[in-house]
């Protein structure tokens, strides 16, 4: 996901199978019809799914928003913010490129990259795993 993108009901993020293989998904982060966000692993070779290894336990979630300020949050059907997903204070989207991906290890991470960076093109992990944030520090507003 990139800033200004929205994950709506029924949409999902998929991970690659292993770090070097982008062709086959292994994990899914999905906003289900019931408003619950789940992280789950795909079975092989049947392409079914194991039980979710994480769930938001929300019932009225309507969309996951990655906004221009680089915050990621779940909104309720009535448009109020419910779960703030981003950990820490995100870097400015004006000065940093931003992305959130479901990595091959099943962890949702938010990455940043300075727009004026002399680095070699690597994207530092801002969050140390949003799944960790989701699992351990869900805040209800």
DSSP H/E element including 110: strand 108-114
Tell which residue, 113, 104, 91, 112, has the closest CA to residue 131: 104
Q: Residue 58 domain-assigned?
A: yes
The enclosing domain of 29 has a CATH number of 2.90.10.10
- For 71-85, how does the pLDDT look when each residue is reduced to its tens digit (9 = 90+)? 888 888 877 766 666
Residue 35 CB-half CA count within 13 A? 14
Q: Residue 121 domain-assigned?
A: yes
Report the predicted TM-score, pTM, of the whole model to 2 decimal places: 0.74
What lies within 8 Å, CB to CB, of 36 at 6+ separation is 55, 56, 57, 58, 59, 61
Q: Residue 47 domain-assigned?
A: yes
Count up the domains in the chain and report the number: 1
Domain that holds residue 41: 6-136
Q: Residue 45 domain-assigned?
A: yes
CB-CB neighbours of 15 under 10 Å:
23
Q: Residue 1 domain-assigned?
A: no
Burial class (CB in 10 A: 0-12, 13-18, 19+), 83: buried
Digits of tens for pLDDT over the chain (141 positions)? 999 999 999 999 999 888 887 777 889 999 999 988 999 998 877 878 999 998 888 888 889 988 888 888 888 887 776 666 665 566 777 788 888 888 888 888 888 888 887 666 666 555 544 443 343 333 333
């Amino acid at each position: 996901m990139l800033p200004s993108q929205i994950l709506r009901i029924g949409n999902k993020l998929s991970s690659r199978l292993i770090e070097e293989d982008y062709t086959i998904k292994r994990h899914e982060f999905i906003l289900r019809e019931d408003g619950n966000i789940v992280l789950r692993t795909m079975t092989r070779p049947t392409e079914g799914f194991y039980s979710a290894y994480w769930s938001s336990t929300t019932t009225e979630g309507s969309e996951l928003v990655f906004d221009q300020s680089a915050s990621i949050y779940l909104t309720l059907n009535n448009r109020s913010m419910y779960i703030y997903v981003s950990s820490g204070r995100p870097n400015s989207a004006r000065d940093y490129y931003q992305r959130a991906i479901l990595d091959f290890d099943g962890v949702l991470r938010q990455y940043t990259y300075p727009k004026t960076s002399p680095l070699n093109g690597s994207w530092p992990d801002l969050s140390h795993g949003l799944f960790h944030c989701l699992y351990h520090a869900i805040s209800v507003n």
